[in-house]
Amino acid sequence: MSESHHITLRLVMAQLNLLVGDIAGNTHQIAHAITRAAEADGADILICSELSLIGYPPEDLLLQQGVKRQIENALQQLQQQVDAFDRPFSLIVGLPWWQDERCYNAAAVLQPAQPPRFYFKQHLPNYGVFDERRYFSAGEQPLLFIHHHIPLAVTLCEDLWHAGVATAARNGGAAALLNLNASPYHGGKRQQREAMLQQRCAEAGLPIFYVNQLGGQDELLFDGGSMVVDSGGAVVVRAAEFAPALQLVTATYSPDNNQLLINPPLEPLPPPLAAEAATYAAILLALRDYVEKNHFNSVLVSLSGGIDSALTLALAVDALGAERVFAVTLPSRYTAAMSVEDARLEAEALGVPLREIAIEPGIAPLHQLLADDLAGRPADVTEENLQARLRALLVMALSNRYQRLVLTTGNKSEMAVGYATLYGDMCGGFNLIKDLFKSEVYRLAIYRNSLSPVIPERVISRAPSAELAPNQQDSDSLPPYADLDEILRLYIEEHAAAETIIAAGFAAATVERVLRLVDLSEYKRRQSAPGVKLSNLAFGRDRRHPITQGYHP
């Protein structure tokens, strides 16, 4: 056929940073994206992410009676904007939609002078961080719509992780799949998505437009990374990771063979971020969004001179700027001089003001108040935790006085075995490294220093210590972190039985002790600050174990 019979498609994938529940604000963002995409790029299709009108996950906001009316008003507002086009234009937007007294996870297709058409998500995830069956009913029919003679199919996120949906779209006559996603980040997730998309392309032979949400939402982080794969499964377009984007894609449609060919982008594909760089970027975005979306002006970090607080301070400065980060160090009689010196060096290197408050004058009155209870007994964890809790009292006083969000600094290894003081060093509002094992904290610190040296080398090389007792080291209470982290990874993330972990080469007594500590510490974790999910199984939404239980692994 002649070249003139081919139809050019200009499609924009809207990778937007949305706020859960802010229906008016999200609608404004989408409306602005329509204007930009249509005017700047000449786009005739704009695709948004899953549940983009309300944000993901909306959770029990869906039970609020006013939400339905706000969603209907928002959709009407967008329909009016689309109706103003005097050329073919399609908007695909995610939203909750109520029909026949049921709520659906839906995608609406809006076109000029046409009533909205809806697709209802068929596969509702109910594992890990997802509990969509609590709120939504499942749809049954695929949605095929025509945009300027081009037949296109719409699916939602989890639908593509199941065989058959893509085939049904192809059998219905679709030339391409438009997939709206709210896919949370964890390490290795990009590779999993690409492998899944390759499977669907092998199954159906259709190009797929994969549009993903962006931004932090409590523990969850959406990394963007929207992409297009051609009918052979090759990634031909990739939007930015951890950054907003209106990614333009051009394609050519041939009606003769119902094929949509993706035109190669003018610029080469950006290379995917390496593992440590991706983790670092994820934490920066998560903190920035938690601070901004919850309207905090600044953050406060308590520096111990150790690796965890040093990395947390560097992350905070890189996310927010030094002018919005403040530090305090609270030495006791057991704090080594080098710890105070390293805290000063870290703050100086990052341009952060540091307040020093020695806690010893506050410890003596506490001992006096408890003299009858402490007398005649050897010092133990009681005296140690008095120090940690006095520090928490002072940190929270500074937080109240200056309206600063306290960033806690406990890593996943410590949270797992309860090597942290409830109402002490666990006290605070958000934790950047909660889902990083101690060994991962070291790797990320080394990565940060490769960008510019802000963490003193001896902080990385010296043996870790809580410094709550004379000559104390973490190894006094815990196995070496290399062993501990692997035992924890197997038990927590792989759900391995004790026998399996022992068979991997670890001493039975060590395994039994570590697993018992994990189970006993559930009550502490339940009261810990939220922290960004970085692994395939994080504490909190991912791992929901009972506090009161009789199972012993």
- Given a contact cutoff of 8 angstroms between Cβ atoms, the answer to whether 99 and 105 are in contact is no
Compute the distance between CA of residue 468 and CA of residue 339 in angstroms, rounded to an integer: 13
Compute the distance between CA of residue 443 and CA of residue 232 in angstroms, rounded to an integer: 37
Extract the tokens encoding 199: 């499977």
**Length of the chain measured in residues:** 553
pLDDT in tens, the chain (553 residues): 444 588 999 999 999 999 999 999 999 999 999 999 998 789 999 999 999 999 999 999 999 999 999 999 999 999 999 999 999 999 999 999 999 999 999 999 999 999 999 999 999 999 889 999 999 999 988 899 999 999 999 999 999 999 999 999 999 999 999 999 999 999 999 999 999 999 999 999 999 999 999 999 999 999 999 999 999 999 999 999 999 999 999 999 999 899 999 998 877 887 888 999 999 999 999 999 999 999 999 999 999 999 999 999 999 999 999 999 999 999 988 888 888 999 999 999 999 999 999 999 999 999 999 998 999 888 888 888 899 999 999 999 999 999 999 999 999 999 999 999 999 999 999 999 999 999 999 999 999 999 999 999 999 988 776 666 666 676 667 888 899 999 999 999 999 999 999 999 999 999 999 999 999 999 999 999 999 999 999 998 888 888 888 877 7
Looking up residue 304, the CATH number of its domain turns out to be: 3.40.50.620
Place of tokens 């392309």: 201
Do 146 and 176 lie in one domain? The reply is yes
Place of tokens 């670092």: 280
Write the burial class of residue 364 (CB in 10 Å: 0-12 exposed, 13-18 middle, 19+ buried). exposed
Catalogue the active-site residues.
50, 121, 157
What value does the CA radius of gyration of the chain take, rounded to a whole number of Å?
Answer: 26
Do 302 and 434 lie in one domain? The reply is yes
Do 17 and 94 lie in one domain? The reply is yes
Compute the distance between CA of residue 322 and CA of residue 301 in angstroms, rounded to an integer: 12
Do 363 and 248 lie in one domain? The reply is no
Q: Residue 21 region, left (φ>0) first, then alpha (ψ -120 to 50), else beta?
A: left
Do 258 and 308 lie in one domain? The reply is no
Q: Is residue 524 part of a domain?
A: no
Q: Is residue 519 part of a domain?
A: no
Single out the residue in 245, 266, 287 at which a domain terminates: 266
Q: Taking Cα atoms as reference points, which of 241, 231, 152, 163 lies closest to residue 196?
A: 163
Q: Is residue 333 part of a domain?
A: yes
Confidence (pTM)? 0.93
Do 101 and 195 lie in one domain? The reply is yes
The string over 136-149, giving b where at least 16 C-beta atoms fall within 10 Å of a residue's C-beta and e elsewhere, is: bbebeebbbbebee
Q: Is residue 550 part of a domain?
A: no
Q: Is residue 482 part of a domain?
A: no
Do 245 and 281 lie in one domain? The reply is no
- Given a contact cutoff of 8 angstroms between Cβ atoms, the answer to whether 1 and 257 are in contact is no
Which residue range(s) make up the domain with 155?
A: 3-266
Q: Is residue 538 part of a domain?
A: no
Q: Is residue 479 part of a domain?
A: no
Single out the residue in 472, 492, 508 at which a domain terminates: 472
Compute the distance between CA of residue 400 and CA of residue 391 in angstroms, rounded to an integer: 14
Do 255 and 352 lie in one domain? The reply is no
Q: Is residue 553 part of a domain?
A: no
Do 222 and 133 lie in one domain? The reply is yes
Do 140 and 34 lie in one domain? The reply is yes
Single out the residue in 454, 472, 490 at which a domain terminates: 472
Count up the domains in the chain and report the number.
Answer: 2
Compute the distance between CA of residue 434 and CA of residue 532 in angstroms, rounded to an integer: 7
Do 293 and 218 lie in one domain? The reply is no
CA dihedral in degrees (268, 270, 271, 274; nearest 10)? 170
Looking up residue 198, the CATH number of its domain turns out to be: 3.60.110.10
Do 134 and 156 lie in one domain? The reply is yes
- Given a contact cutoff of 8 angstroms between Cβ atoms, the answer to whether 206 and 174 are in contact is yes
